[in-house]
Structure 1
Amino acid sequence: MAEVLHRNFFLEGRAGRLEAMLWTTSAAHPPRAAVVCHPHPLYGGTMHNKVVYQAAKALHRRGVPVLRFNFRGTGLSEGEHDGGRGEQEDVRAALDYLAAAFPGRPILLAGFSFGAWVGLRVGCQDARVAELIGLGLPVDNSDMSYLRQCAKPKLIVQGGNDQYGSRANVEALFQTMAEPKRLVVVEGADHFFTGRLDEVDAAIGAWLDEQDLRSAGPAPAF
């Protein structure tokens, strides 16, 4: 795993300061930078959630600086929960930070549950975001139809027994999504991927390898 250089600090958000943590590496030119958005704060979601942590670890292990932050009103972040509206501004504040800290690097935006619903919406629209990862899409009670027109590379990882995003509903949405896209169903896993986080890690790693091969272009012919 890459050497972990921690930085705990506050982002400047529209609703006040946002508690944040950056894992960076000693690499001068990382392949990308990433932000991972956490699940619903009214139900205990924070940047320290196990799924968020595992996703961040999977990215960082592959040389990617990773930013996590607490949405407004969560942890030490200022402001109040805004039902997913103001939280989109929080995501943009995180992107502002990454774009300034890693100029010229493509940004990968990942989110789990509520963090996927809010974060991927911003990521689809923001030109600074090149790649998207959605974990545990809460499609049974949240409108994620915006993904249909999103032509950025997308990885969706879903538990086969997700309580908030049924396999049938996720597969139906996935079929309508623009390419490029990849869906990985973790058979038998619940919304929180209980006992199956290693498979989430593996799915992220395999997809990143594919992305890097694609960006490198075809091998020269001899």
Structure 2
Amino acid sequence: MPEVIFNGPAGRLEGRYQPSKDKNAPIAVVLHPHPRFGGTMNNQIIYQLFYMFQQRGFTTLRFNFRGIGRSQGEFDHGAGELSDAAGALDWVQSLHPDSKGCWVAGYSFGAWIGMQLLMRRPEIEGFLSLAPQPNTYDFSFLAPCPSSGLIIHGDADRVAPPKDVQVLVDKLKLQKGIVITQKTMPGANHFFTDQVDTLMEECSDYVDRRLQGELVPEPEAKRLR
């Protein structure tokens, strides 16, 4: 997969990018965990998500937020990282102007950034939110959540307790025009220790079903392109 350096709002950003052979292929942007706690684009879960989208013909990008690896800038408590994500999507879209739609996938801190990006960009038609932390980060901006997606977490997660994630899911499920799919993995902690393969099977199954037209409102006519 090609290593890339592209311009972000606070300087250069380092990424890994795999274009699809199909010029109309959807784009997937994958967002890593918290930079202050060892999160990078080389996190095992982030790599596996990248590969999963790549296998399904997406044009795929993962990158390091500002201040991580060869990415310039300094940690900005979420505001700057959201700008980084928007800049990353802009960069991929500039190379693939014929792309049909976009997905965003994020893990932990990256899930929070991804859901904010979802609110800003109407072309994002699906999301994967892995181990979101509504007990730590404010998700009240999801009013309403504009796209259907998957929220997946573990019932042994002490960083983001299941009861807090459930409150978020229940709130989102009240909204019309979208379908929120929830998967709670038995015995899984925040890091999905010894369960990454199962996690990827769940994520892959969700994306496959979405690509087949499932797990969305019937009929799916909420966006006119």
TM-score, length basis structure 1: 0.89
- Give 1:119 deviation, angstroms: 2.0
- Give 1:192 deviation, angstroms: 1.0
1:48 aligns with 2:42: yes
Q: How does 1:7-18 map to 2 (within 5 A)?
A: 7-18=2-13
Q: How does 1:1-222 map to 2 (within 5 A)?
A: 6-30=1-25, 32-103=26-97, 104-177=99-172, 178=175, 179-214=178-213
- Give 1:153 deviation, angstroms: 1.1
Alignment partners' CA distance in 2, 1:117 and 1:28: 29
- Give 1:160 deviation, angstroms: 1.4
- Give 1:28 deviation, angstroms: 4.4
Kindly indicate whether the alpha-carbon contact (under 8 Å) linking 2:81 and 2:113 is maintained by their aligned counterparts in 1. yes
Kindly indicate whether the alpha-carbon contact (under 8 Å) linking 1:151 and 1:180 is maintained by their aligned counterparts in 2. no
Q: Secondary structure at the match of 1:48?
A: coil
- Give 1:117 deviation, angstroms: 0.9
Kindly indicate whether the alpha-carbon contact (under 8 Å) linking 2:23 and 2:96 is maintained by their aligned counterparts in 1. no
Alignment partners' CA distance in 1, 2:145 and 2:168: 12
Deviations 1:10-45, CA, capped at 9 Å, x for gaps:
121110000011123434442x11000001111110
Alignment partners' CA distance in 2, 1:61 and 1:163: 32
Deviations 1:51-107, CA, capped at 9 Å, x for gaps:
111211222222222100000011100001001011111011111012122223211
Alignment partners' CA distance in 2, 1:39 and 1:155: 17
Kindly indicate whether the alpha-carbon contact (under 8 Å) linking 1:121 and 1:146 is maintained by their aligned counterparts in 2. yes
TM-score, length basis structure 2: 0.88
Kindly indicate whether the alpha-carbon contact (under 8 Å) linking 2:118 and 2:146 is maintained by their aligned counterparts in 1. no
The one-letter amino acid paired with 1:21 is: R
Q: Secondary structure at the match of 2:141?
A: helix
Aligned length: 212
Q: Unpaired segments of 5 or more residues in structure 2?
A: 220-225
Q: Secondary structure at the match of 2:212?
A: helix
Alignment partners' CA distance in 2, 1:98 and 1:157: 26
- Give 1:146 deviation, angstroms: 2.5
Q: Unpaired segments of 5 or more residues in structure 1?
A: 1-5
Alignment partners' CA distance in 2, 1:194 and 1:174: 23
Deviations 1:120-171, CA, capped at 9 Å, x for gaps:
1112221232211101101221112323511301111111111221111111
Kindly indicate whether the alpha-carbon contact (under 8 Å) linking 2:30 and 2:61 is maintained by their aligned counterparts in 1. yes
- Give 1:108 deviation, angstroms: 0.3
Match of 1:3 in 2: none
Deviations 1:166-201, CA, capped at 9 Å, x for gaps:
111111110110331101111110111111111221
Sequence identity (%): 33
